[in-house]
Amino acid sequence: MTDSATVTVAPVPVASVALSPGSASVFVGQSVQLNATPQDSIGGVLTGRVVAWTSSNSSIATVTGSGLVTAAGAGSATITATSEGKQASASITGSTIPVATVSVTPRRRTSRPVARSSSRP
């Protein structure tokens, strides 16, 4: 007599997503790398899980599929990482690069003839 059984192994579900850094200030045109780590119910790291990235305002901050955030404008945006329905968010502040110095060059003077009049008798 022979018996058989089917065993189904289900992957451990994602219970939470850890995101670092949790906030960043970035000058317009510059970037910061965010890292999302899916975790199980006891905080163990789950590898090989898909993470999707979104920005609440892409005119302020854009994000790639790997979590690279680039400031596109001045203001605030929230970047969200999602894995198996679990989410974590980071606050991004975009700002313009401050002006360090201002140099003013005077306009070139031009010579103009000056008309003189005399009221002498």
Q: What is the mean pLDDT of residues 34-46?
A: 97
pLDDT in tens, 68-78: 999 999 999 99
Whether pLDDT at 119 is above 70: no
Checking if the pLDDT of 112 tops 80, the result is: no
Q: Is the pTM of this model over 0.75?
A: yes
With contact defined as beta carbons under 8 Å apart, do 68 and 55 qualify? Answer: no
| Dihedral angle over CA of 20, 22, 27, 30, nearest 10 | 20
What is the separation, in whole angstroms, between the first and last Cα of the chain? 144
Asked if residues 33 and 46 have their Cβ atoms less than 8 Å apart, the reply is: no
DSSP 59: T
